[in-house]
Amino acid sequence: MLDPAGEATRAAAARLGVQGVRSLRIGKAIELELEAPDQSTAQSQLELLSDRLLANPVIENWHLELLDLAGEQQ
Amino acid sequence: MTIGIVVFPGSNCDRDVRWALEGCVGLPTRFLWHEERDLSGLEAVVIPGGFSYGDYLRCGAIARFAPVLESVLEYAEAGGAVLGICNGFQVLTEMGLLPGALTRNARLHFLCEPARLSVAPGNCQWLKGYSDGEAIVLPIAHGEGRYQCESEQLAALEANGQVVLRYASNPNGSIGDVAGLTNPGGNVLGLMPHPERACDPLTGGLDGMRLLASLRN
């Protein structure tokens, strides 16, 4: 799907003298902190949030990955 | 016979819609603050243009969770007449009353200009005053009016006669030149152009008048 802001930024990269940017897409990064009793609850709550509020699946893709943070509470 | 006009924080065409309905068409209106739930006694509900909740996250994304829209969803599903103009169209797609989504205009510019449209009223009750294939001009004013959906979805919408308004000269990159859509029941209409700004010959012409006046009969 056309990302007009990404295309405009790609054109600006060329004007800056950086050639060869073959594709450039602009998305969103969302930081959130969630309290949940366990990991599977957190996962399902995050999936609900991602699918129903944070992204519109008609026009946006989303990806959810739980990372192990060594030494920190998950 | 009162028409409800939804008001979100950030709506800015609510008073234009009231002016058009009361001053030009001659119908009483009632503002519905976003926290209200009571739609009793209303003949129709209009979701006006603007920037509901600042258009944060995506246009219409936060508005969809407003208490008033829970009532509007039930109202529409029961066959009630609902009109979404501009930001209101974006809200209708986020609510799932109409399929697809409205995204950033193809050439990024905010477009504020008259748009030539072709009308295919089908069973849309809001457009019964127009003839099939009629050419009209309504103002557009949007930065995110590029209609998007899967191509199979578009084919289904076209086969069902739900693409009721098309741009004669596509200004924003909308798939299928879509400017406005109705639901299968014909009681819900979402459109990017502003009919309420075309109800007086001095300001924008008269081509929007019959759309709002459809509520009179």
pLDDT digits (tens, 9 = 90+) for B154-166: 999 999 999 999 9
Tell me the shortest Cα–Cα distance from A56 to chain B, in angstroms.
8
pLDDT of residue A63: 85
A22 & A38 share domain: no
Nearest residue in A to B106, CA atom: A4
pLDDT of residue B203: 86
B36, pLDDT greater than 50:
yes
Contact call for residues A54 and A30 (beta carbons, < 8 A): yes
A55 & A35 share domain: yes
pLDDT of residue B104: 94
Where in B16-97 does DSSP place strands (E)?
A: 29-33, 42-47, 81-85
Structure tokens at B20: 């058009």
pLDDT of residue B217: 67
B75-112 pLDDT tens trace: 999 999 999 999 999 999 999 999 999 999 998 899 99
CA B69 to chain centre: 15
Contact call for residues B105 and B69 (beta carbons, < 8 A): no
pLDDT of residue B121: 97
| Residues 145-204 (B) with a CB less than 8 A from some CB of A | 148-149, 173
CATH topology of domain B2-216: Rossmann fold (3.40.50)
pLDDT of residue A66: 78
A35 & A23 share domain: no
Summarize the confidence of residues B121-147 as an average pLDDT: 97
pTM (2 decimals)? Answer: 0.90
Question: Which active-site residues of B does the annotation give?
Answer: 86, 194, 196
Alpha helices per DSSP H over chain B: 14-18, 67-77, 87-95, 151-159, 209-213
A22, pLDDT greater than 70:
yes
Do B148 and A56 lie within an 8 Å CB cutoff?
no
A7 & A42 share domain: no
A42-69 pLDDT tens trace: 999 999 999 999 999 888 888 888 776 6
SS3 content of chain A, % helix, strand, coil (to 5): 40, 0, 60
Nearest CB neighbour to A2, from listed B58, B65, B106:
B106
The ipTM is 0.71
C-alpha closest to that of B129 among B102, B94, B164: B164
pLDDT of residue A70: 53
pLDDT of residue A62: 87
A38 & A73 share domain: yes
Whether A43 and chain B come into contact, CB under 8 Å, resolves to: no
pLDDT of residue A74: 42
What phi-psi label fits residue B178: left (phi over 0), alpha (psi between -120 and 50 degrees) or beta?
A: beta
- What crossing angle do the helices spanning B67-77 and B87-95 adopt, rounded to 10°? 70
Q: How many Å apart are CA A25 and CA B107, to the nearest integer?
A: 15
Number of domains in chain A: 2
Burial of B138 (0-12, 13-18, 19+ CB in 10 A): buried
A1 & A37 share domain: no
Contact call for residues B164 and B180 (beta carbons, < 8 A): yes
A15 & A40 share domain: no
Q: How many CB atoms lie within 10 A of CB A55?
A: 20
A36 & A72 share domain: yes
A38 & A74 share domain: yes
Q: Which domain holds residue A46?
A: 31-74
